[in-house]
Amino acid sequence: MNLIIDKLKEYPAAVISALVFIGCVAVVFMRGDLVPELSVQETELIARIQTIKDNVIDSRNLEQDVESLQGYVAVIDERLFDRNERSINTNFFYSFENKIDIIIADVSQLTVEDPALIKDGPNELSLYSGIVYEIRARGTFQEILGFMDKIHKMDSLMRIANFELYAGTTTQEAAPDTLMAKLQVVVLAEKD
C-alpha cells in the first residue's frame, strides 16, 4: 500500500487528472439524460428570441399602418348600405332610370342572404353583411348590359350574383327588341 502511495506522490498531476476524469465521468453518467432535454429547451428559446426580434422589426411603423387601415375601413363604411333604410336603398336603384335609358319595373329587398356570404359559407362576411335585391328591368340588350356595367362600376360595394334575360312582354309602347332582365344584386351592408 505504501508503494501505491509513493507512486501517487511522485505523479501528482496524473492523480489530479485521473480524479477530474473520474468526476467528469460520474457527472456525465448521472446527468447525461438532461442533455437532450436541455438541447430542446435551448432550441425553443432561440426560436422565441428570433420571433421577438422579427416582431420588433415588424412593429416599426405599426401605428402608421393602423391609421392607414382605419382610413380604408372608413372608406368602406361610407360605401355601405343600411339595411333599415329600404326606401333610400330602392330609390338608389330606381335612380338608374335617369342615368341610362332603361326602365326599372321592380326593386325588392329579399329577406334571404346570399348563401356564399352567410356563416360557414365560402365567402363568409365577419364584419359586414350582405343585402340581396331583386331588380326587374326592361330595355334593349345594350341598355341592360349598360345597366349591369353601371352596377359593376358603382362606388357602393355590390355585385350581380345572378341574372336572367328573357324576351319582353309585347305591349304597344315596347319596342320589338325589348328584353326583360331579372337581376339579383348583393350589396355590402352594415352588420346586423
Mean per-residue pLDDT of the chain? 80
Winning range, highest mean pLDDT, from 46-50, 97-101, 104-108: 46-50
Q: How confident is the model at residue 121 (pLDDT cuts 50, 70, 90)?
A: low
Winning range, highest mean pLDDT, from 67-81, 82-96, 99-113, 140-154: 140-154
| pLDDT, position 122 | 59
Q: How confident is the model over 17-56, as pLDDT tens digits?
A: 888 888 888 887 777 777 788 888 999 999 999 999 988 8
Q: Where are the domains of the chain?
A: 2-58, 86-190
Contacts of residue 36, defined as CB under 8 A and 6 or more positions apart, other chains included, come to none
Residue 121: left if φ>0, alpha if ψ -120 to 50, beta else—which one?
A: beta
C-beta neighbour count of 141 within 10 angstroms: 12
pLDDT at 123 over 70: no
Q: What is the mean pLDDT of residues 116-137?
A: 72
Taking the C-alpha atoms of residue 147 and residue 96, their distance in angstroms, rounded to an integer, is 8
CATH of the domain spanning 86-190: 3.30.70.60
Q: How confident is the model at residue 73 (pLDDT cuts 50, 70, 90)?
A: confident
130 pairs with which residues across the strands?
Answer: 188
